[in-house]
Structure 1
Amino acid sequence: FTVTGQAVLLAFGFTTGALYLGGDLSGVTAAAMVVVLLRVVETTGSLSLLATPIAGVERLLRELRELVEEDAVRGAPPRAVASSGAADAVRLRAIGYTYPDGTRALTDVDLDLRAGEITVLVGGSGSGKSTLLDVLAGLREPTEGAITVDGVPAAAARRLADASVVFQTTSLRPGTLRDNVVTVGDPALAEIADLARLDPVLDALPAGWDSRVGEGGNPLSGGERQRVGLARALAKPASLLLMDEVTSSLDVVTERAVVESLRRVRGSRTVVAVTHRPALVALADSVIVLDDGRVVEAGPVEELLARDGAFAGLWRRWRESEGWQV
């Protein structure tokens, strides 16, 4: 748009000047034509700003097409695979993952997630935590290695059916609170509300579970949305509960409620959480420290602190940052 606009402007200006000098146009007419052209160029220049988002959409659609075609080539089985609904042990051996652009995200990751325990993934930005969570959730198939659930090889479809995920931000669709929590079956809503500490939210809504939330409904705070997200994850009969920085933007009171919820589900779900919050890390049965896509430390919190290694350094920085004030 920019190059073409400048070329048209120069050509038009040159033509108008030539016609004016030749006596074919008056000065007023020539000036008016130049002013009109400048407005046209200004408008097309504004349209040129759409080039970047259009290119982004094209790239996203291209990547989606590649994923769909990849599944078709592999003959991926249907996603609806039955879940046991009980805590399972998950084992990862020599897991590696390389993105299509060649970026290496995971290398030789070995993990043993014991049934019913809470495992926390920690590490710096870009260490591979979110990628590993995607692999566990069945959103990505590792490029190397093997994953088993209770000793049985588990493809992406099995892991996807057997996992529920709570993201850093919970999005609510227009509808009732019940619609946003219940996706399949008829779970025990009272028990789910109790586990997710959703009772205060229900009490504040005019119609409880039947209150409309999301776009055009009752506005919920960030902490309340996270509790809804946790309730949604617990409503799914899945053995693996995955959480990605769910308390990073919550206040202390709400974070304490989420931590208490996890304490209460311990044993019924195998929990894996990505976090940098000491309150959630302290709850873990084991901690996995990632760096550059590799596991550099693993073990209980007290054991890793005693080693005074990578995890101990992260722990000290987290504790120090808790006292920061602006």
Structure 2
Amino acid sequence: MMSRPMDSFIYQIVAVLIVWLMFPLPKHHHCMRLPQSGLHVFPVDTCPRNLSEVQAASRRLNCSGLQEFEYVYHCLPRFDLSHLVEFCYDDISGWTEPGNCMVLHTHTLNNHPCKYFTKDCPNKPYLIKEMYNYPTCIDIDRKEKCYRMDPSCTSITRKTTEEEPGGRGWIAAVVTPVVVLCLVVLIIIIIIHVVRRRRVSTSRQNTKRYETNRKESTPLILDSNKPTNTDKDELEGSGKSHDNHHGLKSYILLDWTEDDELFVTTEASKAVENKIEKQNFITVVGNSGSGKSSIIQHIALK
């Protein structure tokens, strides 16, 4: 029988797994200060791609400026192309010349030539704060520390290989949902198993409690001075009591039969069975929990 603390522990594990599968932990962006810079910059996975996203990010960082010379929101690569960072720039950012992307170097904004890009290098002057109009300037490979449109960036070759038919990118797309589905099925099986064991345990406890109360309420010695009931009502009551008693016997025999399905024959049970074939009365004795009742019930059902 499974104890309540063990049941509670299993329920907690199942709940944690369900929460973990359904609600992944959010990623927190920490503020970092660049060397020799007073700017507070925040690493991000992606930069805004349109004006509405820029405005939302600006409100999130409390950037108050609306013009190019005010406290304006920017999202650029770092000079080493290791991160994308967002920040409120408190100096004039201004315009940049065609053929250049912009990067953040300490506390200044510097040009980064992009004429060698395979495509989409800016071909006209633009405001630095509007670099979201040129996605190639904010599309970097952090691991390789290069622009993805740079022909020398190995991520281009890797991306092309992944997109080729027969590539291995589909394996992760197939395996991941299968693993998640297996975990969900396993969790459901554990829950069903625990609930069924609890129900069986509760049913057996109720049966044992009922038998204990019945034995305690049955007198060991019948009162011989009690008068015999002969009138019609008492006879009917006696008949009902007989029916109830018969139903109780059937319930007990059914419970014995269920327990007998798990019975394992032992030397002791064989010895008792051999002796009962030769004599009408035997006494089975032994320590508590040694299987006396199980042996008696098993032989009685035969």
- TM-score normalised over the length of structure 2: 0.25
Higher Cα Rg, which structure: 2
- Greater RCO, CA 8 A, separation 6+: 1
More strand, by proportion? 1
